[in-house]
Every structure is written in C-alpha cells, then in structure tokens.
C-alpha cells in the first residue's frame, strides 16, 4: 500500500501551485493540475494552495468548480489547504470580504491576514506532535489564524502564545503556514498517507 503512487491534484486557479506540485512529485505522487470538474473527478486527493482566498473563491465559481469541490469534500476526498487553502476549507471566516464564500468542511472560524500585511511575515519553529521531531520551521505570509475550533477538529500546532495554526478533521488538513516553501515535506506526507488510506 505504501508503495502505491497516489493520484492527487493541486487546485490551479491561483496561488503557489508549482511549489506544491514539486513537493508532491518528490514524495512519489502522480500530480495533476485541477481547473475543471472533470479533472477533479479523476484524482484521489487535492491540495488547495496559498494565494488570495477571495480570488480563488471567485475563480472557483467562474470555472464551475465551487459545487464540485464542496461535493468532493462532503464525499470524503482528502484535501490539504495551506494558508488561503485553510481559509477555503473553513466553515466560517471572521473577516471575509463582501460575499466571500468557502468550500467548507472544517468546523473552524478563521481570520484572514491575522498577522498583518506582507511586511509582517515571519518564521518560527513549531512543535507538531503528530509529525514528531524535529520541530517544523514554519513561514507565515499574510497568514490566517484559527480563532475557534469546532467539534471533531484536532489542533495539530500552536504558536508559543497558544494560537492554533494547524488543524485536522478526518480527511481534511489545514495549515496557516507554507511548508512547501521551506523544504518541510512532512505535512504533505501526512496528506498522502490519508489519500492512500482512503
């Protein structure tokens, strides 16, 4: 089972698509770029990259992808969202722009740009017990924050002050930060393990 090459997609409407494709390919997955419902139907799991959550939301509607994505998540497709991807997996947004919508699936309340502008980007090391040692070196770029965690959602990582920056619920995984830009592959490996198990 562990040797099987899972067929996964990266939602390629906007954002840091290439970085995720590179990491997933290095980990042995067959990776497809997903822009259309038929392409989504052909993969076993999906990564929603960082970028502009409001732009990805609008483009998903323009490309006829919003409802197929919601349906796939509801049907149990493994999905990993980083930064904007976490926002799009959240059931609730504290400070979305007017009419902003999400795909949902994670019973969390997320605040967009919780740490400020691009100039307020920062890096820190996080203890992530589910991944073991060493700590995860995390890069936060206009990052969201999980303000409330609902029923069945497991916090995986917190900042030193206790604020939640990574969560998991069953087949869904979300991080406020960008492991794909630091050479940190363990979250993507965890995602691929979920895909194989599904």
- Neighbouring residues of 185: CB distance < 8 A, sequence distance ≥ 6: 23, 26, 27, 179
Q: Check: CB of residue 11 under 8 Å from CB of residue 198.
A: no
178 catalytic residue (yes or no): yes
Q: Check: CB of residue 70 under 8 Å from CB of residue 79.
A: no
Q: Check: CB of residue 44 under 8 Å from CB of residue 8.
A: yes
φ and ψ at 134, to 5 degrees? Answer: -80, 175
Of the residues 180, 184, 185, 188, only one is catalytic, namely: 180
Of the residues 19, 20, 44, 83, only one is catalytic, namely: 83
Beta strand ranges found along 35-87 (DSSP E): 45-48, 79-82
Give dist(CA 149, CA 87) in Å, integer.
Answer: 13
Q: Check: CB of residue 117 under 8 Å from CB of residue 135.
A: no
Token pair 């998991």 in the structure block, residue:
168
180 catalytic residue (yes or no): yes
20 catalytic residue (yes or no): no
Of the residues 19, 20, 44, 178, only one is catalytic, namely: 178
Q: How many helices (H) and strands (E) does the chain have?
A: 6, 12
Catalytic residue numbers, as ranges: 83, 178, 180
């Amino acid at each position: 089972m562990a040797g099987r090459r899972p067929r996964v997609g990266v939602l390629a409407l906007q954002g840091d698509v290439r970085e995720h494709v590179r990491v997933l390919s290095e980990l042995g997955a067959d990776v497809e770029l997903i822009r259309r419902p038929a392409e989504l139907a052909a993969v076993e799991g999906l990564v929603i990259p960082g970028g502009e959550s409001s732009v990805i939301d609008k483009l998903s509607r323009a490309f006829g992808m919003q409802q197929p994505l919601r349906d796939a998540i509801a049907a149990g497709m493994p999905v990993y969202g980083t930064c904007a991807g976490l926002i799009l997996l959240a059931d609730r947004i504290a400070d979305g722009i007017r009419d902003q919508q999400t795909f949902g699936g994670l019973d969390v309340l997320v605040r967009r740009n919780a740490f400020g502008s691009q100039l307020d980007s920062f890096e820190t090391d996080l203890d992530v017990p589910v991944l073991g040692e060493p700590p995860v070196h995390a890069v936060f770029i206009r990052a969201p924050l999980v303000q409330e965690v609902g029923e069945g959602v497991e916090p995986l990582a917190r900042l030193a002050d206790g604020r939640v920056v990574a969560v998991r619920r069953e087949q869904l995984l979300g991080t406020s930060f960008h492991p794909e830009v630091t050479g940190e592959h363990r979250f993507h490996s965890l995602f691929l393990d979920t895909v194989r198990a599904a």
